[in-house]
Structure 1
Amino acid sequence: MIRSNEHHKTESLPTIPNKNICVPIGSILAVQYFYEKLNFCDIFSKHKSKGLDLNSLVIGLLSYKLTDNFSIKEAGKWLNQKEILDILNLESFHERVLYRTLELLGRNKEEILCDILDSLFSTYGFEETNINLDWTSIVLHGTKANLGKFGYSRDHKPDKL
């Protein structure tokens, strides 16, 4: 029993630096869960057959966007951590792979969006309605547009005006 006149000092143990890595496994597991539930593997895998697994790259990019959401260059650094590569069953890769992945997805966006909508509607029984896409960020490269002088490269690439 503690007496009222006794004072107890709470002490914390000293912090000892180590090489432990903290990986945000929750966002990766959530993306993997819904990726499987909505059958995204079939939706994306038909667009790429060679090189790194497109599904693993998409899962990685989605997980990164839910975790940090900075530039693609930073996404490449995040995804190339040994622990993340192990979780996604990927080999180390150059950030250019992510740019090519996004280009591939962009070229096939209409089909991908239709397939995702079909999957959402069939899984959750949504009523079909009009859909409006809101692109809150637009990327343009070039020197002809007057508004271009106000922009900047999120990846800090001086060659991209």
Structure 2
Amino acid sequence: MKASTARKVNGGADVRRNPIAAVQGRIDALESEARGRLLRALGAGNDALHDLDLALERLSREDWSARGVRRHMDVLRARAENLRASAMRRVADMPGEAVSRLATGSRGPVQNLARGLERIAKRLEERAPAISVVVDREERDPPEVPAEHLE
């Protein structure tokens, strides 16, 4: 190694005069880099463990014993039954509500609807059906071929 490059290594110390110091400097640099990497890895691991602890804490609040699950299922069944009864009551009330709204509503919207339906019916009746007549290929006359092509 040249003296100029040897001086650049280890902050200007001459490697030829003190090779042990140069090796020690490299070892110290590697050690500090390794410590930094280890601390970052441990920090990421600790963060992941902390997230896992929070998730487990949320799950541990629930009672997962047989009694707890049965109680939770009973609560859900009761809610489902209440929702079913409410939905059935609303469905039963719908026809009566529709008739009452039609009876109490003004005649204007009903007449407008009837006029609109009449217009649509007239448009459909006025148009002639678009039927395309296709002649079978066998019934068509064959195309005429010039005589010069026949020879």
In the superposition, the TM-score normalised over structure 2's length comes to 0.19
**Structure whose alpha-carbon radius of gyration is higher:** 2
Higher relative contact order (CA 8 A, sep 6+): 1
Q: Going by fraction, where is helix more abundant, 1 or 2?
A: 2
